[in-house]
Each structure stands twice: as C-alpha cells, then as structure tokens.
C-alpha cells in the first residue's frame, strides 16, 4: 500500500515536469543549502558531536528522506530540538550511544508509519507542543553559553552545566563574546527583504569568520571538515552490548517521538502553504529509513525542519528534487569550502543558535494564551516547558498530556443543576385541572456530564426534591454518563420512587439514553415516563390521567 501510494505520488508530482521546473527546483535547493549550512554546522556542535556530523546529517537526510518523503516540500536535517536531546545521550553513552539510539529510533519510526501511529500526535494539546518547543529553545540557548562566552562547563544536562559555573568559575573570552554578539545583532537587524536573497545567518557567519581570520582572534573554531561522507566516528555494531541497548531504548523513544512530532507538524504547516496534503505514514517511513542509514555515516538524528521547508516553498520548490539539490549543494560546500568552514568561530555559530532558539518559540500563541488568561492552557505550557528543561522530552509530553487530561476531567466533571417549581400558567393549552395536579411538582435542569467525579451533585437531587411529589429531570444537556454516574443516578431515582414520587425523564440524548438502557435505569423508570420535553411530559401525562 505504501509503495503503491508512493509511486502514484511521484507520477502526480512529476506530471508535465519541464526544464523550467527543474531550474526552479535547482535554485530553490541552492537557496535552502545556504540557509542549512550554518544550521547544520551549529546543530552538529550543539548536540555534542561535531560540525562535520551535522553537515553529513543534512546531506544524507536531504538525499534519502527527501527522496522518500510524504510531501515534496519537506526538507530534513539536524534540528535544534533534536540537538537538545542528544546532549544527555552523549554524556552518558558517547557518540556510539547516539548512533545506536538513532538506529533504534529509525526502526520505531518505520513501524509508526506502517501501523499509522502518527495519528496519535493529534491528541497532543497545542499548549503542550508549544511548551516543549519553548523548553527545547531554553536548552539550546543554555547549551551555547560555553561557546558564546568562551568558557567551559561540566555535566550531562544543560541545567547541570549551568550550575557547574559556580564551581568552575566563568572566565569570559571577550573576543568570543564580541563575535557572538555581532552575529546576534546582525541576524536581528538584517532587513527581511534582503534575507530572502542572502540568508542573514549565512552572511553573518562569513563576516565573523573573515574578522576572526584577519584579526587572528584567540577563539575556538569548528575544526577540520573531512572530505568524506563516511566520518571516522560512525556506528560500530561490534562495540554495542545488550546492556547499553537496553539503556538507550528510552532516549531512542524520545528521538522517535520528537522526529514524529516535528515532521508531522512541519508537514501540516507546509502542506497548507503548498496546498498539498502530507502523506503522514509515508513521511514517517521516510524519516525512519533516513535515521536507520545515518549512523553508518556518522550522522546524528534528523527530522523535517520547518524553517528550511518554508524557505524551499518560498523559493519556488516544485518537487522533491529541491531537497535533493539542497543536499548536493551542501556536499559541494563540504568538499570545496571545507578548509574555510574549519575556521568558523564556535562563538559565531553559538550566536546563530541563540537567535534560532529565540525564534523557535511560538510567540504569537504564547501571548494569546497569557493575554486571554487561559489558566488551563498556561498550566500545560509551563509544566511541559519546565519538564523539558529538567527531565526529557518523553516525560515532558507525558506530564503535559496528563495535565491536560486532569484539567479536562475537572471541566467535564462540572455539572450544573438548576431547580424550578412547575408553573402551569406558562404552558400553552394547560387547563385548570393540570394546575392542581402539578401544584407540587418541580423540574431539575441538568447540564454537563454525569460521571464518577460529580456523583455528590447528583445525590443532591434527593435533598432539593424532598418536598415535591412529582419530579421532572430535564436531561437535554447531559452529553455523557459513565458507569459510576449511572449507578449513583439509579440509586437516586430508586430512592425517589421509594418515597412515592412520580418521576419523568425528559429530553434524554441518544448516547445518554443508551447508557440508561444498558444500566437498567430505563426499565426501572418505565418507557411511559420518558418524554422529549418537560412540557410534553406535563401535558401528555395529564391528559392520560
């Protein structure tokens, strides 16, 4: 099924493909390559690997994932979010651990695509996604303190490294700081209309490198860029043991989960821009294949990147050849400009990542949540962000989703019950005989759900209806009833019957009626005591009498 869909997609994609379309794909690919180059180098360094690893990842991901992607517009490579996860993996297991976790994550992604698991991402609330994105942005920024200020830290996480400065000191390298600040200010104030022609990150890195070389600044640099796609540090299957694989399964799940979320969110957003819907299952399989292959080249995990994908579409991308041309462009940069890239200051790359981290945040949604005082959404956002920084992505998303479920249950458990004495004068066609019949009748209007969390409210009906001999329960607003609510409701109705009161259930929705029948309440009350409305119950029962 996946193969057939892929072939059909290619036929549709390349139907009437012309030389003009090829040129558009080529130019768009080279534009994306210019944007991707500094990011690939920076994310490679920030992950704890090397700049070369980031570059190889962008090249292989562009070729492999781009060729099999579920959407022609998807551009994949190393991302800041993924780099944030890898820091702790490298600290605990080294680069071989990262390679093994990437391989396992790739297998998981392929399985997710085959078994349609990607659909589960729709159950993650938007504030949770925004929260973990902000948390990752904070981790990226914290992880660049060393390179930006030219200092050294210790620890397996961004938080541990931050606290280590109190013990190790903070001897700032002023030259590194000035280069980093130059890049930050350059990217912030660079005109947007020019950015479409020459990416600010690309240009700022070039200028910062020239300054560093000409002035012979004493700053750390990227280091040698090998002229091969097969890096010296790559996956060595023989070096793995069962104990390490067990320990790496958790990080691999986090990598797979992040890859799935990032790729599908990127595809959903870009799909609207391109007016072409992403094939989610195929995209996950493509991401999985790419991440299975990457470790054998020495690459780190890759996923679809919204910034590079947006650039591709805005640059006129027509087919998936854009992603492939972007990869080939990076390959040319690697072989021709390797000696130049080796001299790029790490503080300059840190500046790029500082700005990237800031821009990762969905500031529009964050302002919306807090300016409109959505307390539940704010709680999900803050809890997920804090958990991302302090723990890991998997824990953060679980906490965010659990928080959302708790808040949802809390809201669903609220049931409003309004009581009103029957006034027959308000009902058309009601005669004097009915006034006397229902002079001691009352209606309880129920709105909400009847579930385990609000059974006490249901029991309150007994107290409120104590003085009346006819009880009408208007249930038009009861959208759901669980078994706990049904049991309590049955006990209340049984007690009302025991007290000799006449009971009518009115306006019961279909799903709630189904629960009443399954639980035995329908038979207990009797078919003749169910009416579509309170008015019908009063008139038709009165006429029957």
Average pLDDT on 127-133 reads: 89
Distance CA 533, CA 50 (A): 71
DSSP 234-282: ---GGG--HHHHHHHHHHHHHHHHHHHHHHHHHHHHHHHHHT----HHH
Percentage of the chain lying above the pLDDT 70 cut: 99
Answer whether residue 542 shows pLDDT above 70.
no
User: How far is CA 322 from each of CA 23, 44, 123, 335, 526, rounded to the nearest angstrom?
Assistant: 10, 22, 32, 20, 69
User: 126-143 vs 393-412: helix axis angle to the nearest 10?
Assistant: 150
The token pair that represents 235 in the structure block: 């996956």
Q: Name all domains of the chain by residue range, CATH numbers in brackets.
A: 21-407 (no CATH), 414-540 (3.30.750.24)
Looking at residue 106, its pLDDT comes to: 97
Are 79 and 303 in contact by the 8 Å Cβ rule? The answer is yes
CB burial string 466-492: b at 16+ within 10 A, e below: eebebbbbbbbbbeebeeebbebbbeb
pLDDT at 401: 87
Q: Using CA atoms, how far apart are residues 6 and 98, in angstroms rounded to an integer?
A: 30
The mean pLDDT of 87-104, rounded to a whole number, is: 91
**Residue labelled with tokens 């080249």:** 297
Q: Which pLDDT tens digit goes with each residue over 476-522?
A: 999 999 999 999 999 999 999 999 999 999 999 999 999 999 999 99
Q: Is 219 helix (H, G, I), strand (E, B) or coil?
A: coil
Can you give the length of the chain in residues?
545
Q: Is 164 exposed, middle or buried (0-12, 13-18, 19+ CB in 10 A)?
A: middle
pLDDT, tens digit (0-9, with 9 covering 90-100), for 177-211:
999 999 999 999 999 888 877 889 999 999 999 99
Q: Are 97 and 270 in contact (CB under 8 A)?
A: no
Mean pLDDT of the chain: 91
Question: Which of the four pLDDT bands, split at 50, 70 and 90, describes residue 464?
Answer: very high
Task: Kindly state the helix (H) or strand (E) to which residue 359 belongs, with its residue range.
Answer: helix 346-360
- Neighbouring C-beta atoms of residue 542, cutoff 10 Å: 17
SS3 506: strand
pTM of the shown model: 0.80
**Residue 443: closest CA among 416, 415, 417, 478:** 417
In sequence order, the β-bridge partners of residue 471 are 442, 503
Residue 87 confidence class, pLDDT cut points 50, 70, 90: confident
Buried b (16+ CB within 10 A) or exposed e, 358-396: eebbbeebbeebeeeeeebbbbbbbbbbbbbbebbbbeb
Higher pLDDT, 123 or 255: 255
Which pLDDT belongs to residue 430? 59
Please, what's the b/e burial string for 128-142 (b: 16 or more CB within 10 A of its CB; e: otherwise)? bbbbbbbbbbbbbbb
């Amino acid at each position: 099924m996946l193969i057939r869909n892929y072939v059909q997609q290619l036929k549709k994609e390349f139907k009437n493909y012309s030389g003009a379309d090829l040129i558009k794909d080529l130019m768009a690919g080279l534009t994306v390559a210019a944007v991707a180059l500094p990011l690939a180098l920076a994310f490679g360094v920030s992950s704890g690997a090397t700049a070369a690893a980031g570059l190889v990842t962008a090249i292989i991901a562009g070729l492999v994932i781009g060729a099999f992607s579920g959407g022609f517009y998807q551009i994949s490579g190393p991302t800041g979010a993924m780099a944030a996860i890898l820091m702790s993996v490298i600290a605990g297991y080294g680069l071989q651990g990262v390679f093994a976790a990437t391989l396992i994550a790739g297998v998981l992604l392929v399985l997710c695509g085959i078994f349609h698991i990607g659909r589960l991402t729709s159950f993650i609330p938007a504030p949770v996604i925004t929260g973990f994105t902000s948390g990752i942005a904070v981790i990226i920024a914290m992880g660049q303190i060393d390179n930006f200020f030219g200092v050294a830290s210790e620890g397996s996480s961004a938080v541990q490294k931050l606290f280590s400065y109190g013990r190790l000191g903070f001897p700032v390298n002023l030259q590194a700081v000035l280069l980093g600040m130059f890049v930050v200010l350059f990217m912030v104030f660079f005109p947007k209309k020019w950015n479409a022609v020459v990416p600010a990150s690309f240009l700022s890195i070039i200028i910062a490198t020239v300054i560093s070389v000409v002035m012979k600044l004493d700053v750390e640099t990227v280091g040698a860029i090998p002229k091969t796609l097969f890096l010296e540090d790559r996956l060595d299957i023989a070096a793995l043991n069962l104990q390490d694989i067990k320990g790496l399964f958790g990080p691999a799940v986090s990598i797979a989960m992040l890859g799935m979320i990032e790729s599908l969110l990127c595809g959903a957003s870009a799909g609207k821009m391109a007016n072409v819907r992403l094939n989610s299952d195929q995209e996950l399989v493509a991401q999985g294949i790419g991440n299975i292959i990457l470790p054998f080249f020495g690459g780190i995990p890759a996923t679809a990147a919204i910034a590079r994908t947006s650039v591709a579409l805005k640059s006129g991308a027509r087919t998936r050849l854009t992603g492939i041309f972007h990869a080939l462009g990076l390959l040319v940069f690697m072989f021709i400009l390797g000696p130049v890239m080796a001299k790029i200051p790490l503080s300059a790359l840190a500046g790029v990542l500082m700005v990237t981290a800031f821009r990762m945040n969905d500031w529009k949604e964050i302002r919306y949540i807090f300016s409109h005082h959505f307390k539940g959404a704010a709680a999900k956002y803050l809890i997920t962000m804090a958990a991302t920084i302090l723990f890991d992505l998997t824990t953060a998303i679980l906490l965010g989703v659990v928080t959302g479920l708790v808040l949802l249950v809390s809201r669903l458990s609220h049931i409003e019950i309004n009581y009103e004495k029957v006034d027959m004068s308000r009902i058309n066609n009601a005669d004097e005989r009915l006034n006397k019949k229902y002079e001691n009748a009352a209606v309880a209007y129920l709105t909400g759900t009847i579930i385990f969390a609000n059974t006490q409210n249901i029991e309150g009906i007994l107290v409120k209806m104590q003085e009346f001999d006819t009880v009408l329960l208007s249930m038009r607003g009861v959208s759901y009833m669980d078994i706990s609510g049904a049991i309590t409701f049955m006990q209340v109705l049984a007690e009302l019957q025991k007290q000799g009161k006449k009971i009518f259930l009115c306006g019961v929705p279909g799903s709630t009626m189904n629960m009443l029948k399954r639980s035995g309440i329908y038979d207990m009350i009797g078919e003749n005591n169910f009416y579509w409305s309170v008015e019908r119950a009063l008139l038709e029962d009165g006429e029957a009498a």
